[in-house]
Chain A
Amino acid sequence: MSGPRVLIVDDHQLFRAGVRAELEPLLEIAGEASSVDEAVEAIEAHAPDVVLLDVHMPDGGGVEVIRRTAERTGTPPCFLALSVSDAAEDVIAVIRAGARGYVTKSISGEELADAVRRVNDGDAVFSPRLAGFVLDAFAGPAPQPESELDALTAREREVLQHIARGYMYKEIALRLDISPKTVEAHVSSVLRKLQLSSRHELTRWAAERGLDL
């Protein structure tokens, strides 16, 4: 089967089995890992295209996996965070560490497979909740308008609002009368801002999680 090879990282065996059962008909599963150490080794051993990453694990969780993988040589895989947590600081921290997207564990198998493919294509994946957090974090005037990274454009806000309202990318393209590729571009640009912006809300979240960003 062609398509991205996926590594599932989660410390709950039951959950890994569930995700595997749902994804197996749709994608190739490269392996599983149940801890930060195992994940770092499995990424080196299996060289997956996409890593489905649990945010909450002992010894640092998903953020630690991304950090340690980045220290090693070779091209790192794409990370897609998958978590039951909907706390803003968890979500923002893992995105700022380098994940290409964030989906909650209540997502359906088909939607998850779609998200994995999209991340593998280099696009960003935002769940409605993540879109809500980003809009919240970027609300109000930027602390210092020194960087365009610290504010969202009107179009980006519009796209994020539609994601938060539960629209798919294709539907957003249709409603805003732009191409799906343009929607992707806006979302990727928001992700970049999320990772690089110096807005103090984001920096504070990162600092609370012990991230050096």
Chain B
Amino acid sequence: MTTSDASARVLRRDRSGGWIGGVAAGIARRFGIDVSLVRLAFVVATAAGGAGLAAYALGWLLIPSGDSAPARARIRTGRAAVEVALGTGLLLLAVLLTFRALGIWFSDAIVWPLVLIASGGALIWRQSMAGTTPAAGAPPARARSSPPAAAARPATESRPAAAASGPEAEGLRVAVALDRKTAVAEGRRAAVAISRTGLGIALVIAAGFVFLQATGALGAARDVLLAVVAAVVVLGVIFAPWIVRLVRSLTQERAERIRSQERAEVAAHLHDSVLQTLAMVQRRSEDPAEVASLARRQERELRAWLADRPAPGQAARLAAALEAAAEQVEESHGVPVEVVVVGDRDLDPAHEALVASAREAMTNAAKFGGGSPVDVYAESDGSRTQVFVRDRGPGFDPASVPEDRRGVRESIVGRMRRHGGRARVTSAPGAGTEVELSLEERR
């Protein structure tokens, strides 16, 4: 539903258009029927035993009055839905009483329990189904079956109940749509579900009571119930300490189990990684370069694990791919490569080429940078990605580039150009070298 007609969907007493309290006018506006028809229904129901008067009074009490400003209506959709359901129920009650007064009636012992069971059962049923399927388009609230039909054919219990829950379900759907992203809404939805199921159960139980009462079997049932309740209370008092202790120990055991599982996971990881590396370091202690590279690799791996990042080489994201490239270069050339990434993005073929070019540039920096650390900085804002690879080596005069190095440079520049990007190499003797790669998203 759209917000524009949301105000008409909320049941409000229409005092400006009403004669007494605006109940009839409000109901008429809500359901889009002629107000005089509603008034007639009230009058008839009143004449047929006073039920109309009672229903009107209840409506006056329960239905909030006044302006149905869209903003207010939207915020309070949940409550409004309940009010609509209440109003619908009252109207149904009035109709039922009318029929009863007119003599189109079976027996109090059958009709009332059936009506209660039908609505209660439908509520419970709908609620348990709502968990698996979204509320399907409920029939409009006006499609209301007549009470005798409902009484005679309990199998069609979904029809009056659907009528009652139709607007309610719509209200719920609106509320859900408005707040879907908030956890608050989740909690509220759960509360609504529980209170609805509870209401349904109460209705069904009430139906049982009404039936027993009407058939005169309530006295015996009450004695049995009393005995059962007394027994439950007595047993509860006796076993309460044990029950509490049991629940507590179960919770404790569960927490303990989770803790020990986590511990085992951490231990397993440390064993596979850090302890292994330490053993290797001890064995290779005469080779400082190897030890440094082992330590560096382990550090990288441990940091990725601590930060809950996927291990380099697994993820198809820019940052992870650059980290992986840096790790490979570091391992094969023994030069530290520092990677700083601002923003991140998914890898498409063009950005894979960017990463490959960056790896090439890192390899160059490691090879010709005179052993100085290599700094890699990448920045991506979604549409534009830039990568800078810099060493503090001797640098070179771009005018007098040796042939072999030019070849590698071509592979970087050429590759970037093929994928719609750009590469620039800045260098000067004594000032190190920087390769700048950039790629713009093509629209």
Contacts and interface: CB of A to CB of B under 8 A. Distances in A.
Contact of A128 (B307, B377, B431, B434): B377
A129 B340 contact: yes
A165 B306 CA distance: 25
Contact of B338 (A135, A136, A139, A166): A166
Contact of A166 (B306, B307, B377): B377
A132 B341 contact: yes
B381 A165 contact: no
B440 interface: no
A161 B390 contact: no
A60 to B, nearest CB: 20
Contacts of B388: 165
B384 interface: no
Contact of B342 (A106, A139, A166, A171): A139
Given A139-B342, A164-B340, A132 B307 contact: no
Given A87-B307, A166-B338, A139 B390 contact: no
A200 to B, nearest CB: 17
A107 B429 CA distance: 25
B375 A128 contact: yes
A24 interface: no
Contacts of B390: 165-167
B381 A164 contact: no
Contacts of A129: 338, 340
Contacts of B431: 171
Interface in B295-328: 303, 306-307
Contacts of A171: 431
B285 to A, nearest CB: 17
B377 A164 contact: yes
A154 to B, nearest CB: 14
B154 interface: no
Interface in B367-398: 373, 375, 377, 379, 381, 388, 390, 392
Interface string A158-169: 000100111100
Contacts of A86: 303
Given A87-B307, A165-B388, A165-B434, A136 B375 contact: no
A164 B303 contact: no
B343 interface: yes
A94 interface: no
A6 interface: no
A165 B426 CA distance: 13
Interface residues on B, range: 10 to 19
A36 interface: no
B340 A139 contact: no
A131 interface: yes
A136 B342 CA distance: 5
A193 B176 CA distance: 39
Contacts of A161: 377, 379
A166 B392 CA distance: 9
A139 B303 contact: no
A164 B342 contact: yes
Contacts of B342: 132, 135-136, 139, 164
B280 to A, nearest CB: 20
Most buried by B among A128, A164, A167, A171: A164
A128 B340 contact: yes
A183 to B, nearest CB: 17
A180 to B, nearest CB: 16
A164 B341 CA distance: 9
Contacts of B341: 132
A139 B377 contact: no
A131 B343 contact: no
Interface in A167-196: 167, 171
Interface in A96-142: 106, 128-129, 131-132, 135-136, 139
A164 to B, nearest CB: 4
Given A86-B303, A166-B375, A166-B390, A131 B381 contact: no
Nearest to A131: B340
Contacts of B307: 87
B131 to A, nearest CB: 34
B303 A128 contact: no
Contacts of A132: 340-342, 377
Contacts of B379: 135, 161
Contacts of A136: 342-343
B381 A139 contact: yes
Nearest to B344: A136
Interface string B347-381: 00000000000000000000000000101010101
Given A87-B307, A128-B338, A139-B381, A165 B343 contact: no
A129 B392 CA distance: 18
Contacts of A167: 390
Query: Which 4 pairs across A and B sit closest by C-beta, in order of nearness?
Result: A166-B375, A132-B340, A165-B377, A164-B377
12 contacts: A86-B303, A128-B338, A132-B341, A135-B379, A136-B342, A139-B343, A161-B377, A165-B377, A165-B388, A165-B434, A166-B373, A166-B377
Given A87-B307, A166-B390, A167-B390, 6 more contacts: A106-B336, A135-B379, A161-B379, A164-B342, A164-B377, A166-B373
Interface of A: 86-87, 106, 128-129, 131-132, 135-136, 139, 161, 164-167, 171
